[in-house]
Amino acid sequence: MRYVSTRGDSPPASLSEAIERGLATDGGLYVPESFPSVNIAALRATEGLPALAEALLTPFFAGDPLGEQLTDICSEAFNFPAPLRLLARDTAVLELFHGPTAAFKDFGARFLAAALARLQPAEAEPLTVLVATSGDTGGAVAAAFAGRPGFEVFVLYPAGMVSERQERQLTCWGGNVTALRVRGDFDACQRLVKEAFQDPSLSSRRRLTSANSISLGRLLPQMVYYAAASFEYELVRGAPAGFVIPSGNLGNATACFWARKAGLPIREIVLATNANETLTRFLSEGDWRPGATIQTLATAMDVGNPSNMERLLQLHGGDVPTRAELRARLVTDDEIRRGITEGVERWGQIWDPHTATAITVRESLDAPHWIVVSTAHPAKFESIVEPLIEGTVDVPQQLAELLDRPKQYREIAPELSELEARLG
Ligand SMILES: *Cc1c(COP(=O)(O)O)cnc(C)c1O
């Protein structure tokens, strides 16, 4: 299996090359050259996420040296469950928040770390992972690489713009993980990382890599929980389900489209966005106009220029997807609040602000058989959720352990020179 760039101007790469590079040489994103048709009956017969992951991903690793290590990579990455909880009204919720940092990004980050670790030559200089985060990514990446020999991680986050609990998850690691609190916004953090990659003297001193959500090493494993949930739903309820996915940078959504393309029983896919309207405007007006990022209650979806749109467009032949191919609905902060407030009574669940966007969209859909994707545990966003439900949210044990550790960070101005000084 080879991987080509969405922009078509970069030579095809092997999976290992694509994972190590992140971005294709022409600035595009890597996509599979063709979609393998997987053996659905064989996948259905597997037991447990690691085995399903291995069976599903084997064709995507075909011909790559990493293929031989896929069993180990899958058992390392899929070591926590993704339960499907059946609710009323032919609806189910796919809980993706049982990993170390209580958000779905743990799956992709752990898989990427396991793959990258196996790609490092024995005597190589340590690999420096630079990651800019608006909250969830940085924690998941830090957790996945913490304590791994051969990696040094620098997490850049915007001062004062992440929640207290998110900041704890970014700053609690120590060792090979350094948290850099940047006096600027998320865009400033991203700009700094970009500048670092373009700085010749820095890249001659350090081997740099990024771990953001455009990485194939994060996307491919995300297909796995869609496969598991689609099988389970069909088995229990006798009909294929559609998925409603809370979306920002569209990585999680892309993985679901890829799973469907590979032949899994996924009826349709509907995306829920927050007030950042780049995607919904594009689908209704055909006009791709990335705008400035708007801050909402679902902060991890605050993306004005969703980078994985390139992959979704490529999948739909480069044209504006039709309604039958891709639907999305924008959910306002007021609707998010209502979704959380009414969630306890309507669904018997406490939703986090991201999942609340998807529930709001589910409630507006008539057809039965929907799986709502729950991307984070509500305890991560207790300062929003608790006042709305007028109660407290229990903190899962793995999260409680992280929140107990002291914060360690360095504060820097949003200047490349300050980042360089920290990197050494
Ligand atoms: C990152 C994130 C999202 C958005 O996922 P994308 O792949 O960027 O679309 C949604 N919810 C939570 C909790 C997240 O952390």
Residue with the smallest CA separation from ligand 1 atom 1 is: 300
Half-sphere exposure of 313 (CA within 13 A, CB side): 19
User: What letters, b where the CB count within 10 A reaches 16 and e where it falls short, cover 230-255?
Assistant: bbbbbeeeeeebbbbbbbbbbbbbbb
Whether 242 is in the pocket of ligand 1, judged by its Cβ within 6 Å, is: no
- pTM for the model: 0.96
Residue 331 pLDDT greater than 90, yes or no: yes
Between the alpha carbon of residue 328 and those of residues 2, 89, 229, 276, the distances in Å are 31, 21, 21, 12
Q: Dump strand ranges (E) for 145-275.
A: 151-158, 177-182, 207-210, 241-246, 266-273
Q: Which of 48-52, 94-98, 185-189, 308-312 has the lowest mean pLDDT?
A: 185-189
Mean pLDDT confidence for 194-209? 88
Whether 91 is in the pocket of ligand 1, judged by its Cβ within 6 Å, is: no
**Quick one: which atom of ligand 1 is closest to the CA of 303?**
8
Whether 190 is in the pocket of ligand 1, judged by its Cβ within 6 Å, is: no
226-235 confidence digits (pLDDT tens) = 999 999 999 9
* Dist. CA 158–CA 403, nearest whole Å: 19
Whether 251 is in the pocket of ligand 1, judged by its Cβ within 6 Å, is: yes
- Sequence letter at residue 22: G
DSSP reduced 3-state for 3:
strand
**Quick one: which atom of ligand 1 is closest to the CA of 354?**
11
Please give the distance, rounded to the nearest whole angstrom, from the Cα atom of residue 302 to the centre of ligand 1: 9
Between the alpha carbon of residue 284 and those of residues 247, 278, 287, 313, 320, the distances in Å are 17, 10, 8, 15, 9
254-295 confidence digits (pLDDT tens) = 999 999 999 999 999 999 999 999 999 999 999 899 988 899
Residues 6+ apart with CB under 8 A from 126: 150, 151, 152, 207
* Dist. CA 248–CA 212, nearest whole Å: 13
Whether 375 is in the pocket of ligand 1, judged by its Cβ within 6 Å, is: yes
* Dist. CA 184–CA 412, nearest whole Å: 9
Please give the distance, rounded to the nearest whole angstrom, from the Cα atom of residue 337 to the centre of ligand 1: 18
Residue 170 pLDDT greater than 90, yes or no: yes
Where do we find the tokens 């608006």?
134
Half-sphere exposure of 174 (CA within 13 A, CB side): 6
* Dist. CA 271–CA 77, nearest whole Å: 26
Of 250, 280, 301, best ligand 1 pocket probe by most atoms within 8 Å of the beta carbon: 301
Q: Check residue 1 and give its pLDDT.
A: 95
Pairing of strands 84-87, 30-32: unpaired
Sign of CA dihedral 66, 70, 76, 79: positive
Query: If pLDDT is split at 50, 70 and 90, which confidence band does 204 have?
Result: confident
- The domains located in the chain, with CATH, are 81-103+217-393 (3.40.50.1100)
Q: In terms of C-beta density within 10 A (0-12 exposed, 13-18 middle, 19 or more buried), how is residue 296 classed? A: buried
The token duo for 333 is 């902060």
